[in-house]
Amino acid sequence: MKYDVIVIGGGLSAIMCGIALATNGKQVALMVKGQSKLNFNSGSIDLLGFDEQGNEVERPLDAVETLSAKHPYSKMGAANVAHNAAMAPVILSAAGLHFGDDTYINSNHYRMTPLGLLRPTWLSLDDYVTSNSRTSLPWSKVALVNLQGFLDFPAHFVGEAFTRMGVECYMCDIKLGAIEKITNNQQVIRSTAVAKLMQNDGVLGEMVRKIRSEVGDAEVAVLPAVFGLDGDDTALRIAHQLKVPVRFVPTLPPSVTGTMLLSKLRKLFIRNGGTFLLGSMVKNGKIKDNRVISVEAKNFPDQDIVADQFVLATGSFMNGGLVSSNQGITEPIFNLDIDFKGASGEWTKEKLFDAQPYMEFGVATDAEFHAIKDGQPLENLYAIGSILSGHNSLKLADDTGVAVMTALQVARQIGV
Amino acid sequence: MTAKTGSPEYDVIIIGGGITGAGTARDCALRGLKVLLVERMDFTNGATGRNHGLMHSGARYAVTDRESAAECIGENMILRHIARHCVEETDGLFITLPEDDLDYQSTFVEACRNAGINAEIIDPAQARIIEPAVNPLLIGAVRVPDAAIDPFALTTANIIDARRHGAVALTYHEVTGIIVENAKVVGVKLHNNLTGEDSEAYAPVTVNAAGIWGTIIARKAGITINMFPAKGSLLIFNHRVNNMVINRCRKPANGDILVPDKIVSMLGTTSDRVPLEQIDDMRVTPAEVETLLKEGVKLVPSLATTRILRAYAGVRPLVASDDDPAGRSISRGIVCLDHKERDGMDGFITITGGKMMTYRLMAEIATDMVCRKLDKVGACTTAILPLPGSEDERGAKKRGNHHIVSQKAAHERHGSMAREIKESSAHDKTMVCECEHVSVGEMKYVIEKLRVTNLAKMRRRTRMGMGSCQGKLCACRAASMLCQMNGDVNKSLNDLASFMNERWKGMRPVAWGSTLSEAQLTTTIYEGLCGLQMENRV
């Protein structure tokens, strides 16, 4: 089988690129190794939360113009960022993911984090706790659900945040037999395990009954985001049964929300004719005359997988897209050129929350995101998402934004 | 504390919350003295919390320093009894590699036997069977009674027993001045590093047990002690690669000891003189990491491919002999100074030098001197009386009976005191730290009974966050528990940030490969997902 495009990677960037290409009628295959950064997803997409001076950004599409030349947004230009930013909600919505109305794309708002802190973001799923202000929320009384034994939702921090913002917050401590059965066995119960339990009607029903008896006159019930693991409609059913609106706050990883996003995006990709090559760890690629001819995967030994175009979306260090040793930094599949500086001692700064130099390291590309090898751009290999150099995604709060913007940009370039 | 007038509230003030201070507080309290112990940070914050956790058999010193070797084996046998819940009886190997001189082995074994250490030459093939991780190229092996010891649990147990016998032990109380009247130390000026309050405490005798910081304490009384800070760097590996302690059978050198410590392995050490001004800010350098790794893989080749969790450094308090102020002649043995005899300053004792291993003997020597000064008679019982946690004769055997992992782990940490941990409800049984098997119940126990108020203390009492994930999720879970207890969100968030930052400090010298990936993952969770900063003001 020969594909028009092979996308290496399975995270947000890879799948958005795959969907955009498949929608354009390309034969696309995603070669997916394992887990992606969506495990840490918050239910939001951060386009640009802070500028390079560290100031909070209110209008991200305007602020894009202030970024330095090495930033991926600067490479594609502000007009393209705006174009892709308008396209992103359309694709997400086609996947059944609703991130507010069209007016949202011009301004940032705040999302509530698992620690009850506020972080600027661009698009948030409709039923997540967000606010336009640092000091207020659109409710006066909420019921916050704490599932006893599930420690990865620090409800105490979240409850304090509501109180701080002038919202009366009533904590519903819910004990569920199904969770107790696990914690009693001295196991940690993680968000995904709770989400699996919630797929059982009996467990869900018990939880809803218990919340209903405690919810009182709260305007909304706030729950940890542990529902809809496979993209199912549990969240809607809870709201329906509770008879009060429901809002979610993300948990510590793994993110059920991220799994849900991925599951819905995968379905759209397949619906549009895309192919998944799951569990395929790409080992290396053949390059000739500045073009990638084929790649070889670990589970398809001695088999050349051929395509016209290749997109590399394998992520940063934590995803294995970049590999470091005390000698240097490499890109393990094509041995691409890497933008990085200094010896290993200079990659980091003293404090954990300092701007760490290594966060800006990544694959070198030209303005069209062609990956560069031995100083030459490869004509048919593009790099997208967190493998790109030139920005600190934690300090700028632009991680998912860069993933989506570069994915759509490269898809358009390939498409024409 | 009591006013200057009137009789002092205490018989003895002990400065320093490391193992020496804790041991001295226990010994003094057991002999019926009214004890005040003051520590400027938390217990075990200095060298006690920054070493191998090696319970020497003494073999390492047998050839070069027979006196130290004999002290070690004597204390080794005592600790197996009085602190059995802190000890893992691993035994140790001294291996000879092709590049080493095999003749040294016989010198070594003879020296061990002369010091009373049971050293048995075994066949290299046999060594590979009992310790599969060992370098297969070894040409000689000697088995000795080395063991692993948990310095945190050991210090905690000494403090608990001191308190049971009436001692007052204050953390975060820094000595800012020594009060001297008519050439006699009569008390100390204290500054509370948490609340900022100043106070004074009085006692007829003050014991300086502040390790390397002892030289600074002595200076406050106008006394000079020539100490030479010797930095020792260590690496912690992601999992336990060895069952036994592994040493090189040669003259002690860099990177030639690998100690198993519950679920990880510790490789050490280097030894470099550092200026006194640096002792509060120890950093491991890239050159030290390289030296350790280069030597470490010779002991156990698989270390080359094992993830390094973190690197850290402690400072040994080496003391120059008094007859050699230039400091060329340095003693590694126990130094107990009576400043009345030495400097004409009564009521003041310094106990230093020595090793963690010999803390009890150091405490005994210091307490004997305290008693002489107070004209009190009291026999030392610390070599006989088991520490809290080790009282149960059948304790060691009982370990195997715990059918759930956190109870077993808690028993290893707290010994028979683990009985006080309540795990009646499903919630209490919930695991918080998966690497070290710490349950909600155990955390409640240390918060309520062991006065844990922050994550760093939680780590030292329970080992939370010390395993392969380095606190990635458990720190947040524990912070939430502490926040619930203290009700102060800002404090808890900043505590969480500084805990993660402290973990980073140890990862940074080895931040490449999977350690760098883990660091990126950690900040992605805490800064990216959770929005945490170094300073959080909500």
Comparing A301-310, A348-357, B389-398, the range with the smallest average pLDDT is: B389-398
- State how far the Cα of A57 lies from the Cα of A61, in Å rounded to an integer: 9
Is B268 domain-assigned? yes
- A183 interaction partners in chain B (CB closer than 8 Å): 426-427, 429-431
Q: Which residue segment(s) compose the domain that B264 sits in?
A: 88-148+228-317
What percent of chain B lies above the pLDDT cut of 90? 75
Check whether B395 has a pLDDT greater than 90: no
Nearest by CB to residue A353, choosing from B432, B484, B497, is B497
Residue to substitute from B405, B408, B427, interface A, most A β-carbons within 10 A: B427
- Nearest-by-CA chain A residue for B492: A157
CA-based torsion, A96, A101, A104, A110: positive or negative: negative
Query: H or E stretch including A34?
Result: none
The reported pLDDT for the residue numbered B186 is: 97
Q: What is the mean pLDDT of chain A?
A: 94
Single out the residue in B317, B337, B363 at which a domain terminates: B317
Residue B523, chain A, CB below 8 Å: the answer is yes
- A157 interaction partners in chain B (CB closer than 8 Å): 480, 483, 489, 492-493
- Nearest-by-CA chain B residue for A176: B426
Check whether B197 has a pLDDT greater than 80: yes
Of B302, B235, B310, B514, residue with least CA distance to A325: B514
- B525 interaction partners in chain A (CB closer than 8 Å): 40, 252-253
Average pLDDT of the segment spanning B50-79: 94
Here the tokens at position B508 are: 């940074």
Of B453, B423, B452, B455, residue with least CA distance to B439: B423
CA-based torsion, B449, B454, B460, B466: positive or negative: positive
What percent of chain A lies above the pLDDT cut of 90? 84
Place of tokens 């506020």: A118
CB pairs under 8 A between A and B: 166
Q: Are strands A44-45 and A28-32 parallel, antiparallel or unpaired?
A: unpaired
Q: Same domain, yes or no, for B243 and B271?
A: yes
Q: How far is CA A416 from CA A80, A86, A99, A410, A413, in A?
A: 15, 19, 28, 10, 6
Interface of B with A in 137-196 (CB under 8 A): none
**DSSP per-residue string spanning B11-32:** SEEEE--SHHHHHHHHHHHHTT
The pLDDT confidence band at residue A211, using thresholds 50, 70 and 90, is very high
The pLDDT confidence band at residue B401, using thresholds 50, 70 and 90, is very low
Average pLDDT of the segment spanning B460-484: 89
Are the beta carbons of B414 and B85 closer than 8 angstroms?
yes
Q: How far is CA A143 from CA A131, A171, A219, A363, B531, in A?
A: 17, 6, 8, 46, 23
The pLDDT confidence band at residue B2, using thresholds 50, 70 and 90, is very low
Residues 6+ apart with CB under 8 A from A248: A43, A125, A127, A128, A129, A222, A223, A224, A225, A227, A235, A257
The pLDDT confidence band at residue B484, using thresholds 50, 70 and 90, is confident
Q: Terminal CA-to-CA distance of chain A, rounded, Å?
A: 23
- State how far the Cα of B484 lies from the Cα of B453, in Å rounded to an integer: 11
Interface of B with A in 252-291 (CB under 8 A): 286
Strand partners, B202: B187
Nearest by CB to residue A164, choosing from B439, B536, B538, is B538
The pLDDT confidence band at residue B1, using thresholds 50, 70 and 90, is very low
Residues 6+ apart with CB under 8 A from B7: none
Contact A397 B528 (CB under 8 A): yes
Collapsing DSSP states into helix, strand and coil, what is residue A28? Answer: strand
Instruction: Classify residue A385 by its DSSP letter.
Output: G
Check whether B217 has a pLDDT greater than 50: yes
Q: Are strands B245-248 and B227-237 parallel, antiparallel or unpaired?
A: unpaired
The pLDDT confidence band at residue B324, using thresholds 50, 70 and 90, is low
Place of tokens 């004990």: A175
Residue to substitute from A37, A181, A186, A402, interface B, most B β-carbons within 10 A: A186
Q: Establish whether this prediction's ipTM goes over 0.95.
A: yes
CA distance B477 to chain A (A): 6
Place of tokens 């260090």: A317
Contact A156 B473 (CB under 8 A): no
Nearest by CB to residue B532, choosing from A115, A180, A318, is A115
Q: Same domain, yes or no, for B106 and B237?
A: yes
Q: For residue A240, which amino acid is it?
A: H
Of A355, A409, A362, A411, residue with least CA distance to A390: A362
Q: How far is CA B214 from CA A275, B15, B167, B203, B316, in A?
A: 69, 9, 21, 18, 12
Contact A114 B529 (CB under 8 A): yes
Q: Same domain, yes or no, for B38 and B138?
A: no
Q: Same domain, yes or no, for B304 and B326?
A: no
What are residue B61's phi and psi, to 5 degrees?
-105, 0
Place of tokens 């600067």: A74
CA-based torsion, A392, A396, A399, A405: positive or negative: negative
Here the tokens at position B86 are: 């802190």
Q: Same domain, yes or no, for B25 and B137?
A: no
Residue B473, chain A, CB below 8 Å: the answer is yes
Residue to substitute from A353, A360, A391, A399, interface B, most B β-carbons within 10 A: A353
What's the CATH number for A129-249? 3.40.50
Instruction: Classify residue B117 by its DSSP letter.
Output: -
- B408 interaction partners in chain A (CB closer than 8 Å): none
Q: Virtual CA dihedral for A159, A162, A168, A172, nearest 10 degrees?
A: -30
B40 C-beta neighbours (distance < 10 Å), count: 22
Nearest by CB to residue B504, choosing from A114, A255, A352, is A352
Instruction: Report pTM.
Output: 0.90
- B432 interaction partners in chain A (CB closer than 8 Å): 151, 188
- State how far the Cα of B415 lies from the Cα of A362, in Å rounded to an integer: 50
Of B308, B270, B234, B258, residue with least CA distance to B95: B258
- State how far the Cα of B186 lies from the Cα of B178, in Å rounded to an integer: 8
- A387 interaction partners in chain B (CB closer than 8 Å): none
Q: Same domain, yes or no, for B16 and B140?
A: no
**Does A254 sit behind a cis peptide bond, omega within 30 degrees of 0 on the bond before it?**
yes
Is B79 domain-assigned? no
Q: Virtual CA dihedral for B285, B290, B291, B292, nearest 10 degrees?
A: 90
Collapsing DSSP states into helix, strand and coil, what is residue A223? Answer: strand
- State how far the Cα of B43 lies from the Cα of B123, in Å rounded to an integer: 43
Comparing A185-189, A362-366, B129-133, the range with the smallest average pLDDT is: A185-189
- State how far the Cα of B352 lies from the Cα of B335, in Å rounded to an integer: 5
- Count of residues in chain A: 416
Of B172, B205, B232, B218, residue with least CA distance to B355: B232
The reported pLDDT for the residue numbered A256 is: 95
Are the beta carbons of A225 and A250 closer than 8 angstroms?
yes
Cα of B271 vs its chain's centroid, Å? 17
- What angle is formed at CA A133 by the lines to CA A127 and CA A138, rounded to 5 degrees? 50
Contact A186 B522 (CB under 8 A): no
Here the tokens at position A117 are: 């802190």
Is B386 domain-assigned? no
Q: Same domain, yes or no, for B420 and B339?
A: no
Q: How many helices (H) and strands (E) does chain B have?
A: 18, 24
Is B304 domain-assigned? yes
Contact B520 A397 (CB under 8 A): no
Is B380 domain-assigned? no
Check whether B398 has a pLDDT greater than 50: no
Contact B426 A352 (CB under 8 A): no
Strand partners, B268: B234, B257
Here the tokens at position B428 are: 């209490």
Domain ranges for chain A:
3-101+261-415, 129-249
pLDDT digits (tens, 9 = 90+) for B145-193: 999 999 999 999 999 999 999 999 999 999 999 999 999 999 999 999 9
What are residue A388's phi and psi, to 5 degrees?
-75, 150
- State how far the Cα of B433 lies from the Cα of B476, in Å rounded to an integer: 10
Check whether B69 has a pLDDT greater than 50: yes
Q: What is the CATH number of the domain that holds B172?
A: 3.50.50.60
Q: What is the mean pLDDT of chain B?
A: 91
The pLDDT confidence band at residue A208, using thresholds 50, 70 and 90, is very high
CA distance A341 to chain B (A): 14
Here the tokens at position B100 are: 């080493």
**Helical spans, DSSP H, in B375-437:** 395-398, 405-414, 426-429
Residue B397: Cβ-neighbour burial (10 angstroms; 0-12, 13-18, 19+): exposed
pLDDT digits (tens, 9 = 90+) for A50-70: 999 999 999 999 999 999 999
Are the beta carbons of B310 and B506 closer than 8 angstroms?
yes
The pLDDT confidence band at residue A298, using thresholds 50, 70 and 90, is confident
B196 C-beta neighbours (distance < 10 Å), count: 7
Residue to substitute from B308, B434, B538, interface A, most A β-carbons within 10 A: B538
Q: How far is CA A77 from CA A56, A81, B538, in A?
A: 21, 6, 36
Contact B516 A324 (CB under 8 A): yes
Are the beta carbons of A242 and A234 closer than 8 angstroms?
no
Residues 6+ apart with CB under 8 A from B277: none
- State how far the Cα of B224 lies from the Cα of B215, in Å rounded to an integer: 7
Q: Same domain, yes or no, for B247 and B127?
A: yes
Check whether B374 has a pLDDT greater than 90: yes
Q: Same domain, yes or no, for B92 and B110?
A: yes
Residue B64, chain A, CB below 8 Å: the answer is no
Nearest by CB to residue A317, choosing from B504, B516, B533, is B516
Is B54 domain-assigned? no
CA distance A27 to chain B (A): 33
pLDDT digits (tens, 9 = 90+) for B84-123: 999 999 999 999 999 999 999 999 999 999 999 999 999 9
Sheet strands (E) in A95-156 = 109-112, 118-121, 123-124, 130-131, 141-147
Check whether B343 has a pLDDT greater than 70: yes
- State how far the Cα of B42 lies from the Cα of B59, in Å rounded to an integer: 32
Contact B406 A37 (CB under 8 A): no
Q: Domain count of chain B?
A: 3
- Count of residues in chain B: 538
Check whether B457 has a pLDDT greater than 70: yes
Here the tokens at position A139 are: 């409710």
Q: For residue B470, which amino acid is it?
A: Q
- State how far the Cα of A342 lies from the Cα of A360, in Å rounded to an integer: 13
- State how far the Cα of A120 lies from the Cα of A139, in Å rounded to an integer: 20
Interface of B with A in 410-449 (CB under 8 A): 426-427, 429-432, 434, 437, 439-440
Superfamily of domain A3-101+261-415: FAD/NAD(P)-binding domain (3.50.50.60)
Q: What is the CATH number of the domain that holds B129?
A: 3.30.9.10
Average pLDDT of the segment spanning A199-204: 93
The reported pLDDT for the residue numbered B317 is: 86
Comparing A63-77, B205-219, B312-326, the range with the smallest average pLDDT is: B312-326
What is the b/e burial string over A358-389, where b = at least 16 CB atoms within 10 angstroms of the residue's CB? bbbbbbbbeeebbbbbeeebbebbbbbbbbbb
Here the tokens at position B271 are: 């030894």
Residue B520, chain A, CB below 8 Å: the answer is yes
